[in-house]
Chains A and B, each alone.
Chain A
Amino acid sequence: MRIDRPALAAALAPGALLALVGVALAGLVAATLEPAERAAVSALLAPRAALLLLGWLVLAIALGVQARRAYAIWIAGPARLAEAAQALLAADAKLAIELPVASCGAGARALAEVAQRLARQREALSRDVDARVREAARGIEQERSRLGALMAELTQSVVVCNLDGRILLYNNRARLQFRALSDAPALADGAELIGLGRSVYAVFDRRLIAHALESIQQRMRNGAAHPSAQFVTSTRSGQLLRVQMAPVCEPPVAPQPTGALSGFVLMLHNITLEFEQDSAQDRLLLALTEGTRASLGNLQAAVDMLELPDLQAPMRERFLSVVRDEVGSMTTRVRSLAAATSEGLKTRWPLEEMLGADLVRAALRAIEALPNGRAAASEVDEGLWLRVDSFALIQALVSLAARLIDEFAVKRVQLRLRRDGTRAHLDLIWPGTALSTETAMSWESGPITVGQEATPLTVRDVVERHGGEFWFQRERTRHEAYFRFLLPLAAPQQPLDAAATRHGDSRPEYYDFDLFRTGAPARELDDRHLLGLTYTVFDTETTGLDPSQGDEIVQIGAVRIVNGKLLRQESFEQLVDPGRSIPDAAIRIHGITPAMVAGRPRLEQVLPAFHAFAADTVLVGHNAAFDLRFLQMKQALGGVRFDQPLLDTLLLSAVVHPHQTSHELEAIAGRLGISLLGRHTALGDAIVTAEVFLRLVPLLAEQGIRTLGEARAAAEKTWYARLNY
């Protein structure tokens, strides 16, 4: 048991004081007495000394107990109270600390009560503030993910950039569009052009953007309500883009009515195809007018000559042959023009691309919903894509079916969809041939009626909208009749759309609004904070350990880290044909067999793509020296150079945990609580390495290692230290 020295002192003090006073009094009294009197007093007291001592002891104990209690109440209690109150002050507001009032006096107790109440009040306030902050944050997060979702689903390409031109939001459509624009090796999948934190100037001329921004700012200064700029540009890969630019402003600060410009939104529209179509039309038109002018010129001149009265027969025949010739060539020209335009004739009505089978199903449902409506699919080409105004077309089909049922007691109709060359036949079939051609024609030109309501459209209008045709036909042998719609086919679905769902399982994070704030002037890389840098975390799988002995890369995988976030969807993964056998030992590690790499690109094709993907970033790898040695031995093949700064998670781990014996990726991941999924694929390992790196950064910061330069220096020191082992 600990001895409470001050309390002991307080308890002993009264006895000591009493003894001191008694001895002093006795001394004083003795000094005033004669020797005889002194002897008499001592003779009187000596036999009673035990009694006196007992009296002192009793008194000392009684006073000591009182003194100890007073000490506890007036000194020790308030001191403990003060300490506890101090702890309360310093502690997290949510921790409920009970003040030790039990051994305090009434005054201190009242004081403690007040302090406790204040603490509770503070606690309640803090909880309230926390709740509000959480709610606000949840609101912001919701808004963000709603915005993200909205952007992801948009069919228009949207890219948001900060004023440095760094991309901080893009949607899937933009990703696909950039991929189509990429003139870099196709392997990088466009990810070398579009990515959070990447520069939009890889695609657009910096001066063009600056000019557009300038004109927006000019419009803002002039007080335009919705300042925006539009330009058309051809990209480095020769595609034609129409770009609309709108400003992104900070929230306004009074007295300014609008906030400062902090970035811009680009909406992209690839007009290459449209432009080509329009140009083709223009060329046709020009060829027609100029060709016709020339022919007419020749005709006119020849006819003028023919009118001359003194024309000799041979010359006359000559001019007549010119006339015949020119009439013939004009006829040919008009014919070929008609043929060319009838295919390319664009209907102005916006048509959507739709799987024909879906249209048939929707139409069948609508017909089934009619009173007495019974419908079935006859023969449907499941692979057919149509360009249709599906709403109007289904209305037309339903109204025709309704009239058949009502006016001709048709029990059951069928829909048939077939390809016919470059067009599709959509037939509404019914048994019996009672309907007359005249009735059919009147239905075609009469208004479409749905239920009791007549629409302003006729079947003919709908057909014209599609640049199609419509007719009525009987098949007497099968004892049935049908209405046939001739409809345009959609171009085969572009890979652009097919690929749209590639990342569709989880909605990817294509935005990072924190990048709005990174407008700080670019400092030397080594001085920049580790979290503010952009990284390419990579890994390779190889046929063996020694590139100088002929070992080769069989797979490269990489992910990006931007602003301290791991961007899994901005990844690079490519199998490489090593051009040699893969030893069994290596296959056991990574499972990549010769069959898997057969027909894959060679390293000299893959390296430029990976180089483009990793441009302007810091490379990170685990035991990166190994992978880098492979890359650097082969980089000349691909005509590129990997000279970016490099960080090695193996060395950084040794910096953070110098006393650990293992710095294998598994061991580090285990220590840092990272689950190991998909290991020993290059991308899987790159992702684990990236997670390890992100956990190492705060641990490095605890040791005062915050910038890239500091991290590199520390890693280097560790490396030498490890060499010494």
Chain B
Amino acid sequence: MTYKVLIADDEPNIVVSLEFLMKREGHDVSVARDGQQALADIARLRPDLVLLDVMMPVRSGIEVLQAVRADEALAGTKILMLSAKGRETDIAKGMALGADAYMTKPFSTRELAARVRALLTGGAA
């Protein structure tokens, strides 16, 4: 089954890999370069899953997360946070605000793909 996946990250060097990976997994992939665009794309495209970078220009990943979780129309959207912020507190904050999963950079793409799969098919992340 094909899912819609939105990659929200401002760093082209990670976007290129994520995009390639997700397409390889057979998903319908789109890319947002900042938080503002991510929110607009989420509302417009209604992705099943968002790979959301925490540190983005204009609006941060945390703000995007909060906005999505505050919008009931977007309730089914899975959000996987990706971040270079690796402190316990950062992870706790992301999870508390409603992220479905939180992965700190660097991560293995295999693990990422597995998590995405699990989230999309409704299994445990």
On A, residues with C-beta under 8 Å from B are 289-291, 293-294, 296-302, 304-305, 308, 315, 318-319, 322, 325-326
Q: Which residue of B17, B20, B104 is within 8 Å of A293 (Cβ)?
A: B104
How far is it, in angstroms, between the C-alpha of A2 and the C-alpha of B8 when the chains are bound? Answer: 124
Cβ < 8 Å to A, chain B residues 1-41: 11, 13-14, 16-18, 20-21, 24
Q: Which residues of chain B have C-beta atoms less than 8 A from A318's C-beta?
A: 16
How far is it, in angstroms, between the C-alpha of A602 and the C-alpha of B10 when the chains are bound? Answer: 54
Q: Which residues of chain A have C-beta atoms less than 8 A from B11's C-beta?
A: 294, 298
How far is it, in angstroms, between the C-alpha of A293 and the C-alpha of B108 when the chains are bound? Answer: 13
Q: Which residue of B85, B86, B110 is within 8 Å of A304 (Cβ)?
A: B110
How far is it, in angstroms, between the C-alpha of A315 and the C-alpha of B16 when the chains are bound? Answer: 9
How far is it, in angstroms, between the C-alpha of A315 and the C-alpha of B19 when the chains are bound? Answer: 12
Distance (whole angstroms) from the CB of A271 to the closest CB of chain B: 24
Q: Which residues of chain A have C-beta atoms less than 8 A from B16's C-beta?
A: 302, 318-319, 322
How far is it, in angstroms, between the C-alpha of A318 and the C-alpha of B13 when the chains are bound? Answer: 9
Contact call A290/B84, Cβ cutoff below 8 A: yes
Distance (whole angstroms) from the CB of A326 to the closest CB of chain B: 6
* CB-based closest 8 A-B pairs: A297-B105, A301-B17, A296-B106, A304-B109, A293-B84, A294-B84, A300-B106, A298-B13
Residue with the greatest number of chain B CB neighbours at <10 A, chosen from A291, A294, A301, A319: A301
Contact call A293/B105, Cβ cutoff below 8 A: yes
Q: Which residues of chain B have C-beta atoms less than 8 A from A293's C-beta?
A: 84-86, 104-106
Q: Which residue of A289, A294, A302, A325 is within 8 Å of B17 (Cβ)?
A: A302
Contact call A299/B106, Cβ cutoff below 8 A: yes
Contact call B20/A297, Cβ cutoff below 8 A: no
Closest residue of chain B to A315 (Cβ to Cβ) is: B20
Contact call A300/B20, Cβ cutoff below 8 A: no
**What are 29 pairs between A and B in contact, CB < 8 Å?**
A289-B84, A290-B84, A291-B84, A293-B84, A293-B106, A294-B14, A294-B84, A296-B105, A297-B82, A297-B84, A297-B105, A297-B107, A298-B11, A298-B17, A300-B106, A300-B107, A301-B18, A301-B21, A301-B107, A302-B13, A304-B21, A304-B108, A304-B110, A305-B20, A305-B21, A308-B24, A315-B20, A319-B20, A322-B16
Distance (whole angstroms) from the CB of A547 to the closest CB of chain B: 59
Distance (whole angstroms) from the CB of A345 to the closest CB of chain B: 25
Distance (whole angstroms) from the CB of A317 to the closest CB of chain B: 11
Q: Which residue of A290, A298, A315 is within 8 Å of B14 (Cβ)?
A: A298
Distance (whole angstroms) from the CB of B66 to the closest CB of chain A: 21
How far is it, in angstroms, between the C-alpha of A318 and the C-alpha of B15 when the chains are bound? Answer: 12
Contact call A304/B17, Cβ cutoff below 8 A: yes
Residue with the greatest number of chain B CB neighbours at <10 A, chosen from A297, A302, A319: A297
Q: Which residue of B13, B18, B107 is within 8 Å of A325 (Cβ)?
A: B13
Q: Which residues of chain B have C-beta atoms less than 8 A from A315's C-beta?
A: 20
How far is it, in angstroms, between the C-alpha of A219 and the C-alpha of B14 when the chains are bound? Answer: 56
Q: Which residues of chain B have C-beta atoms less than 8 A from A308's C-beta?
A: 24
How far is it, in angstroms, between the C-alpha of A318 and the C-alpha of B24 when the chains are bound? Answer: 16
Q: Which residues of chain A have C-beta atoms less than 8 A from B106's C-beta?
A: 293, 296-297, 299-301
Q: Which residues of chain A have C-beta atoms less than 8 A from B110's C-beta?
A: 304
On B, residues with C-beta under 8 Å from A are 11, 13-14, 16-18, 20-21, 24, 55, 82, 84-86, 104-110
How far is it, in angstroms, between the C-alpha of A293 and the C-alpha of B54 when the chains are bound? Answer: 13
Given contacts A294-B14, A319-B16, A319-B17, 7 further A-B contacts (CB under 8 A): A289-B84, A293-B104, A294-B11, A301-B14, A301-B18, A301-B106, A304-B108
Q: Which residues of chain A have C-beta atoms less than 8 A from B18's C-beta?
A: 301
Q: Which residue of A289, A305, A325 is within 8 Å of B109 (Cβ)?
A: A305
Q: Which residues of chain A have C-beta atoms less than 8 A from B104's C-beta?
A: 293
Q: Which residues of chain A have C-beta atoms less than 8 A from B20's C-beta?
A: 305, 315, 319
Q: Which residues of chain A have C-beta atoms less than 8 A from B55's C-beta?
A: 290
Distance (whole angstroms) from the CB of A319 to the closest CB of chain B: 7
How far is it, in angstroms, between the C-alpha of A318 and the C-alpha of B85 when the chains are bound? Answer: 26
How far is it, in angstroms, between the C-alpha of A308 and the C-alpha of B82 when the chains are bound? Answer: 22
How far is it, in angstroms, between the C-alpha of A220 and the C-alpha of B55 when the chains are bound? Answer: 49
Distance (whole angstroms) from the CB of A171 to the closest CB of chain B: 42
Closest residue of chain B to A302 (Cβ to Cβ) is: B17
How far is it, in angstroms, between the C-alpha of A442 and the C-alpha of B14 when the chains are bound? Answer: 53
How far is it, in angstroms, between the C-alpha of A325 and the C-alpha of B15 when the chains are bound? Answer: 14
Distance (whole angstroms) from the CB of B103 to the closest CB of chain A: 9
Q: Which residues of chain B have C-beta atoms less than 8 A from A302's C-beta?
A: 13, 16-17
Contact call B105/A322, Cβ cutoff below 8 A: no
Distance (whole angstroms) from the CB of A294 to the closest CB of chain B: 4
Closest residue of chain B to A290 (Cβ to Cβ) is: B84
Distance (whole angstroms) from the CB of B85 to the closest CB of chain A: 6
How far is it, in angstroms, between the C-alpha of A304 and the C-alpha of B110 when the chains are bound? Answer: 8
Distance (whole angstroms) from the CB of B21 to the closest CB of chain A: 7
Contact call A297/B86, Cβ cutoff below 8 A: no
Distance (whole angstroms) from the CB of B23 to the closest CB of chain A: 11
Closest residue of chain A to B53 (Cβ to Cβ) is: A294
How far is it, in angstroms, between the C-alpha of A209 and the C-alpha of B123 when the chains are bound? Answer: 56
Q: Which residues of chain A have C-beta atoms less than 8 A from B21's C-beta?
A: 301, 304-305
Contact call A301/B109, Cβ cutoff below 8 A: yes
Distance (whole angstroms) from the CB of A323 to the closest CB of chain B: 9
Q: Which residues of chain A have C-beta atoms less than 8 A from B108's C-beta?
A: 300, 304
Q: Which residue of B17, B84, B85, B107 is within 8 Å of A305 (Cβ)?
A: B17
Distance (whole angstroms) from the CB of B11 to the closest CB of chain A: 7
Distance (whole angstroms) from the CB of B121 to the closest CB of chain A: 22
Distance (whole angstroms) from the CB of B99 to the closest CB of chain A: 17
